[in-house]
Structure 1
Amino acid sequence: MTEYAIVRYQGWVSVEAAIDTSPTETRSRPHILLRDDWLHVHFGAGTPAHADFHWFWLRHQCDGERHPVTGERTLDASEVPLDIRPRSVTLDEGAGRLHVVWDEPSGRQSHYDLSWLRAHAYAPDRPQVPPPPSDVARVALDARRLPDAAAVVEACLGLLRREGLAVVRGFASAPGRAPEDDTDALVDAFTAGGLALISTHFGRIEDLRTDNTTNQNTDQLGYTDAGIDLHTDQPFLDRPPRYQLLQCVRPATLGGESYLVDALAAARLLQAIDAPAFELLTTVPVRFHRKQKAFERVVDAPLLTMEGPEGFQSRYSYFTLAPFDRPFAEMEAWYRAYTRFARIVRDRRNQYRFELQPGEFVIYDNYRMLHARTAFSGPRWLRGVYFDPA
């Protein structure tokens, strides 16, 4: 009998066998994987091969919640919290039986025969959709290993197409030059590689620093030392800029960590686990409103667009999301859907997290990636540039 301990790995609650960790397990043997909201069961040989079961469904089906004489169910489904989770899960492979101890005051224990679960599988052989990736090595490249700036740009554009993000290490200035002296050359390299520089209401190049004196319309969070959580840049425009490059001139003394998440991967995961929520976020127009002392824009659009003229596009910005019209009977459902998506992207396990050193930079697809930073102290200075495809 194998007891499974809950462990966290890249957005999933997976399992490790606490007793039997031998590598002899194959798909022909029963085994289980614990996810955040459901249990994934591999039955072994036969059909279906595997199935998923929500935790609340399993709790409602508890074999101990029946009258001892008549066998009728005594537990109403409404009495089971939708967010119920197990305290422990044990698979008795020899008996073909699953044992669950629930994380509730009663310590209720439930038992399920694998044959019964297979017969009542409501999600048989469901495709497994992975969460957003978080391994920075997947999107990082070392400029010192490439012959010149043109090769760096080519590698970056390849990562942008595949992953939506490129983190460039080792891009240091020549002796006697400061990183800010190389920004224009970096911009020129990307324009030569097929991108077009976009000027915005901030100007041509943003100096993201608390003592900014070079940009317009600096009355917004980017020019403070506050933490800024995940967002799309400029979702209040009809056509937001497609790419942003952030070059580190000077890191913070404390804090100032960057983090990004793949909103496309998050949207695909949401579609797989909560189709009604996905439908709402891709069809209901909401309002994004930016109002500053000398600048104001408003746009109405869905939070997520899967197949627009530019392909996938996210508009996720908690600080510019404004009141929008929705029938009373439908407003709560939209907020539930938004919260479900936010749970995915705000989960640290689903985020690329890193710090940049002077000269290093990140370039990301503003339609696909959400970006953020932690609060900081000290003279942090990043330079920001927007691009569109040429």
Structure 2
Amino acid sequence: MHDIRVIRDDPAAFDAALSRRGLAPLSPEILALDAERRTRINAAETAQAEQNRASKEVGAAKARGDEAAFEELRALVAAKKAEVAAMQAEAAALDAELRDLLMTIPNLPLESVPEGADENDNVEIRRWGEPRALDFTPVEHFEIAGVRPGMDFATAAKLSGARFVMLTGAVARIHRALAQFMLDLHVDRHGLTEVWAPVLVLPAMMEGTGQLPKFGEDSYQTREGWWLIPTAEVTLTNTVHGDLVEHATLPRRMVAHSQCFRSEAGSAGRDTTGMLRQHQFEKVEMVSITDAESGLAEHEAMTRRAEAVLEALGLPYRTIVLCTGDMGFGARITHDLEVWLPGQNRYREISSVSYCGDFQARRMNARYRPAGGGRPEFVHTLNGSGLAVGRTLIAVLENGQQADGSVELPAVLQPYLGGASRLTAGGELS
């Protein structure tokens, strides 16, 4: 959420930043609503002062026995009380309207973010690894002979409908091994704190990280009012919801492996084959809570942590900076990691690493006490996939596929697979 004081101080700069996202100026509407709200607050305060003065005079009139003045002043106090209540209600309604408006406005991009309209304007900043030279035509993950026995879309559709998959046998074990490997890497090498957290959260938690109110259709809500998380970003970031933390406890770096749920609203017709885009999937998610000075350095470090997973698995990838028109709602800057998928002959997103500044913290009212004293400041938040487990499974299977339908598996997974290094064409580990 945005700081109304910043918009008041420089509305032109606010609108200029919004225009980089392709949005029309909003400061006139915001400031008009803010001015009306402040007018009602000032009027309520004035009426409250008049009520207080009249209340004192009521006592004085009664003490001197002036019955006429006493009754007149009592009527005035009652009228002022009703006036104050009405003005306070109006101010509260305007305050809620202003907050609702600010809650729907995306974060402002950093100056360094390239300007553009869509994914075609994103900027590649580096690559790692070379796609394997193949002497056969590669196929997509679900077409590999050794994968087909363990990737069952028909049974999943019978159970749950479209965009679900059931993994069995060796494929399910590889999927589990990937999640375990990612967690161990982030905990042991990167020093992140592992967290196991709920996947059902209260609406305020979804508001805190920006999924609500604007993007409710992208997620699922239960009859009881809980929301199913679209990513563990929601739970991990909201661990500081409403808190005032000590500077000495920052940065807080966390990682969680969780089930994730997305309705995929608006994605009809996209990636309908295979398990690239599912309603239920798993991610290993990283979140950092930092101070105002450390955010950008932490963003680079988090990006490297995600890249390290791909490098350990031997998967070619490229890192891009999303342009202003392709960036997510809560981000100030985002790095996307795109892994090479030979079955599609293209790079596909496998991780997004975003720096949000204090945007989410304002929504959560999450602050820290500066080490040198002074007024509390809002924390800065970051989140990134480290990685999407299902998409990593796809990348491992496609990049390791052999002409005979078997799959060579990354060496780092062998300890998690009982020493196996291969998925045979018959769907067994060996």
Question: Structures share a fold, TM > 0.5?
Answer: no
Greater C-alpha Rg: 2
Structure number with higher strand proportion: 1
TM-score range, shorter chain: under 0.3
